């Protein structure tokens, strides 16, 4: 069984990206890991490794709310017989997507081409380019109309 990592930001395109991931999961067959990385709006780093302070903080209450939103997206997939797990973390988007892809041994990462990741990231290209440069697995892009 293959593994699809599907990072989402709960934007308008998330439903379509999850739907397309479900279609692919049925065809392969595959299991799906839905991932939401809640990137801090403010943080400081020393070198490549240490984050000194981050907001929002990764609190149990915050993670619980994010997981509930992921469950809402996962339930239709589960109802159709697809194995779905979900992960919600506070961290740096590119680093954590790539880390989770490796952790779950993703065969594919599925992203939306517009509106799927925040506009701030798409416009400066850091997230999209970082994800395309980093994985050891293919990246599937779901075209999303604006």
Cα–Cα dist 26/112, whole Å: 19
- Residue 73 in tokens: 């997206």
Cα–Cα dist 82/48, whole Å: 37
Residue spans per domain, the chain: 2-142
Cα–Cα dist 2/82, whole Å: 12
Longest dimension (CA), the chain: 46
The predicted pLDDT at position 116 comes to: 40
| pLDDT per residue as tens digits for the range 112-142 | 875 444 444 443 456 777 888 876 799 998 8
| pLDDT per residue as tens digits for the range 6-63 | 999 898 889 999 999 999 999 999 999 999 998 776 555 555 555 545 555 567 888 8
Which CATH superfamily hosts domain 2-142?
Answer: HUPs (3.40.50.620)
Residues 107, 4 contacting (CB under 8 angstroms): yes
- Residue 10 in tokens: 């709960």
Q: Is 34 left (phi over 0), alpha (psi -120 to 50) or beta?
A: beta
| pLDDT per residue as tens digits for the range 61-116 | 888 999 999 999 999 999 999 999 999 988 888 889 999 999 999 999 998 875 44
Burial environment of residue 64 by CB neighbours within 10 A (0 to 12, 13 to 18, 19 or more): exposed
pTM value is: 0.82
The predicted pLDDT at position 115 comes to: 44
DSSP secondary structure string for all residues of 11-62: STTHHHHHHHHHHHHHHTTEEEEEEEEE--SEEEEETTTEEEEEES---HHH
């Amino acid at each position: 069984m293959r593994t699809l990592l599907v990072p989402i930001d709960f934007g308008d395109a998330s439903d379509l990206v999850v739907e397309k991931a479900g279609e692919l999961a049925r065809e392969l067959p595959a299991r799906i890991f839905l991932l939401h990385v809640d990137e801090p709006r403010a943080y400081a780093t020393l070198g490549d490794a240490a984050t000194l302070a981050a907001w929002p903080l990764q609190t149990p209450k915050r993670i619980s709310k994010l997981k509930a939103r992921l469950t809402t997206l996962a339930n239709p997939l589960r109802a159709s017989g697809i194995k779905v797990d979900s992960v919600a973390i506070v961290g740096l988007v590119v680093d954590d997507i790539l880390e989770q892809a490796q952790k779950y041994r993703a065969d594919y990462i599925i992203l939306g081409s517009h509106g799927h990741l925040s506009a701030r990231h798409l416009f400066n290209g850091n997230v999209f380019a970082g994800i395309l440069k980093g994985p050891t697995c293919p990246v599937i892009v779901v075209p999303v109309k604006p």
